[in-house]
Amino acid sequence: MKRSFSLTLMAATWAVVGSLWGQEASPRIALIDMQRAFKEYYKTKQAEAALRERANAFQRERQTMLADYQKLADETQKIRDAAVDKSLPESAREEKRKAFETKVQDLRNMERKIQEFQLTRTKEFEEQSQRMRQGLLQEITKVVTDFSAREKFLLVLDKSSVSLTGVPVVLYAQGLRDITDDVIRLINSGSSSSSKR
């Protein structure tokens, strides 16, 4: 289903391209490398830095939890060793066995807590990353759309796109204007480093 839709979409795109080509000597079609624009957008770099900081905070929190887990595991082992120590009276060993059972339950609870923490934080991180990416792509797309309207382009193709079969959507495009540098300049015009230039 997806493949047939993709092929239909590509056929329709090329039909439009063919009809546009026939209308004027120099077609009003442009190319852009959206991957490069996304990568070179100053807000992408800021978002990546924020995500790295969040990942580092997650890692620090996880390390603290693992250190607490190890401490509890060591305490549990000591109590277990005391519970089987023949030099202690039977009543003391029985008390240690009960304490050991409690510690084992605490250890299991902590394991569950660590697993839940990892699952929750991983999901939160992935969702935040996806939201940031979508937001940035929307901003870049708006700049592409506005720029293309001003330049009177009828069609702009993303040359970094690949089809469902893994083949680049744009295989060959001679004489078409590449607006990637123009868009990168526009999206970065609001950064503090570009205003210093």
CA torsion sign for 148, 149, 151, 153 is positive
CATH topology of domain 22-191: Protein Binding, DinI Protein; Chain A (3.30.910)
The overall average pLDDT reported for the chain is 85
Per-residue pLDDT, 164: 86
Which residue has tokens 């807000």? 43
Q: Are 187 and 44 in contact (CB under 8 A)?
A: no
pLDDT for 2 beyond 80: no
CA torsion sign for 124, 127, 129, 132 is negative
Residues 8-31: tens digit of each pLDDT: 545 555 555 555 444 454 569 999
Per-residue pLDDT, 39: 96
Per-residue pLDDT, 196: 46
pTM, entire model: 0.69
Whole-angstrom distance, CA of residue 182 vs CA of residue 179: 5
**Who wins on pLDDT, 5 or 111?**
111
Q: Residue 175: which pLDDT band, with cuts at 50, 70 and 90?
A: confident
Per-residue pLDDT, 58: 94
